[in-house]
Amino acid sequence: MKDSAGVRTVPVDAIAFLQDNVAWNRVSFCIQDGKILSCESRNDPAQFFVTPGFVNCHMHWLMLGEPTLEREIELMKNRPDEMIDIMVENARSTVLKGITACCDKGPPGLETHRIYQGLRTAKSCGLPVPKTLVSTWTISVDGAFASPLSRRVYSQNELEQVIRELHETGAGIMKIIPESGLRLAQFTYDWVFPEAYFAVAREMTARLGLILAIHAKGPESIGMGLKYSVDCIEHATEASVTQLKEMQGKGIYLSPTLEGLWCRLNYATSAGSGVATAAFEWGNATQMFRNAVVLNNGKPFTHFLFGSDAGSACTPHASLRELYLMRKLGLPAEDCLRAAMVNGARFMKLHGSIGQLTPGYCADMIFWRRNPLELDVADWEHLDQYIAAVMLDGNLIEP
């Protein structure tokens, strides 16, 4: 790589996502002011393969992987400065794994402004922080999963006010938790969010340009997400084949959060508590995912996202295990990359600036020692070992 007059020339073998497949092209990128200026063909072999950065579409900066939400809140309230330091370090190590953009699916609790501010300050000081779409609060009602840690609404007027506040606080996304946690006796989740509120949320978010995502594990919540054409269904652990087909037909994205569920199961097993719930959810998630992988006559569901649930119970931020689990459960490598790059960019409505390596786009790149498409499933368990360097907005981030 050479720098001249602020222009950096990068000769690589770069991935391009085409309509039906992916291609590798020998190119030289010119990079200036954090953007790809141009992309010329070349002939000689390059040292590195390059892809766009990964987009983690379901994560929580304000959660640090404590096993329970209550411990998370305690940390936030009692040790806020320490929390900011840990979060800034998480952001740096996340970038080093190639994750250059994230969608934060809502913080626990309400005293979070200061903590988001810490992340913005780190970025303005030049520290590596992934581009992040935030949801400011998670919205729920009494009886919903994690409702004590969400912003609960009690009337339609209040809901409308919260959506206006989301918009004013710079959120790009609204995340609703409309169902209860697992009721173990019946193995069911209850839809607890009034349907009239849900209709209002869909109408207002569409009008204000906010993305609408719902936490939905049970069939009823997934059905409601389909009825109102939300933008993304999180988890979808009990989605039937029919529901998956309808999601795809409506262009609704799916964050399977396999890593989060896998980490929960591991923790439950080692702690000897909560095993039944964790095993039930993991079993459903893997079955749903395997169905989705062959949904279209053996070809996969088209709207997968990379969403690991980083920050939730025992789930690390700087990890690519979600992608390994997606591959291990049958998704081909190129579809994993598509989910983690172009699909994530489209979901976040940033497909004009990230997710592809095209002139005018952000210079967010992963430099690979080997072509990730040629690595087998076992190699994907340690995918980060093949990452030589990461570029964020044109700056090389060194380990």
Interaction site with Zn ion (CB under 5 A) = 105, 309, 312
Decide whether 39 or 213 has the Cβ nearer to Zn ion. 213
CB of 289 to Zn ion, least distance (A): 17
3-state DSSP assignment of residue 357: coil
CB of 153 to Zn ion, least distance (A): 20
CB of 105 to Zn ion, least distance (A): 5
Best CA proximity match to 146, nearest among 154, 137, 159, 135 = 137
Burial of 394 (0-12, 13-18, 19+ CB in 10 A): buried
- The answer to whether 138 and 105 have CB atoms below 8 angstroms apart is yes
Decide whether 259 or 364 has the Cβ nearer to Zn ion. 259
Decide whether 201 or 213 has the Cβ nearer to Zn ion. 213
CB of 252 to Zn ion, least distance (A): 17
Give the ranges where the chain is alpha helix by DSSP (H): 69-78, 80-96, 113-124, 156-168, 195-208, 219-227, 241-250, 258-271, 275-293, 321-328, 333-338, 344-347, 377-380
Torsional sign, CA 66, 69, 71, 73: positive
Residue nearest to Zn ion (CB): 309
CB of 310 to Zn ion, least distance (A): 8
DSSP letters spanning 272-302: TSSHHHHHHHHHHHHHHHHHHHTTBTTB--S
Decide whether 92 or 105 has the Cβ nearer to Zn ion. 105
Alpha carbon of 320 to those of 140, 182, 327, 393: distances in Å? 30, 27, 11, 21
Decide whether 248 or 257 has the Cβ nearer to Zn ion. 257
CB of 290 to Zn ion, least distance (A): 22
Decide whether 46 or 318 has the Cβ nearer to Zn ion. 318
